[in-house]
Amino acid sequence: MRILGKVLVGLGTVFAIIIAFFVWLGIAGQRFKTAEIPFVTQFVTDLSRHWDVADVYDRSTPTLIEQASSAQGRQALETFKQLGALRSVHDFALRNYYRGTGGATAVLSMQASFEYGDAVVEVTLQRRAGAVRVNGFFIRELKMRAHAGAREIAAPRQPVRILPLGALRT
pLDDT tens-place string over residues 9-54: 787 887 777 777 777 666 766 777 788 899 999 999 999 999 999 9
Contacts of 130-133 with CB under 8 Å at 24 or more apart are 132/36, 132/39, 132/59, 133/59, 133/60, 133/61, 133/64
152 pLDDT exceeds 50?
no
Q: Estimate to the nearest angstrom the gap between the alpha carbon of 125 and the chain centroid.
A: 6
Pair 43, 56: CB distance under 8 Å = yes
Q: Residue 87, exposed/middle/buried by CB under 10 A (0-12, 13-18, 19+)? A: middle
pLDDT tens-place string over residues 45-93: 999 999 999 999 999 999 999 999 999 988 989 888 989 999 999 999 9
Instruction: Count the helices and strands in the chain (H runs, E runs).
Output: 3, 5
pLDDT tens-place string over residues 116-148: 999 999 999 999 988 999 999 988 888 888 765
102 pLDDT exceeds 80?
yes
Q: Which CATH architecture has domain 36-162?
A: Roll (3.10)
Quick one: which H or E segment has residue 62? helix 62-69
Domain chopping of the chain, boundaries: 36-162
| Banded model confidence at residue 167, pLDDT cuts 50, 70, 90 | very low
